Amino acid sequence: MLSDPERGTTLVTTTARNTDRIIAMTNVMRTDQQGVGELAVLIEDAWQSKGLGTALAAHAADVARRGSLSRGWLGRAGCG
């Protein structure tokens, strides 16, 4: 995790062949509103349009639910 666990969770994604290279980053962060969080998925350009973002967003939603976040917003951006 790259963030303070009290504020949220940061997950990094690598390929099976090269675990030293990060291809995506997912953030699930708490907000000031009770039960509301922010979800952001950042994926390297070469890995976009392959379903990775959908899979990471679904996993992040599970992480958020386990952390008592019931509502959230999604921000999406590509690496350039």
- Distance of alpha carbon 65 from alpha carbon 31, whole angstroms: 14
Walk across the sheet containing 22-30 and list its strands. 8-14, 22-30, 36-43, 71-78
Averaged pLDDT for residues 58-69: 75
pLDDT at 42: 93
**pLDDT over threshold 60, residue 77:** no
Instruction: Kindly list the distances between the CA atom of residue 51 and the CA atoms of 54, 66, 75, in Å, as whole numbers in the listed order.
Output: 5, 23, 16
pLDDT at 64: 76
Averaged pLDDT for residues 30-46: 85
pLDDT at 3: 58
**pLDDT over threshold 60, residue 75:** no
- Distance of alpha carbon 43 from alpha carbon 22, whole angstroms: 9
pLDDT at 61: 81
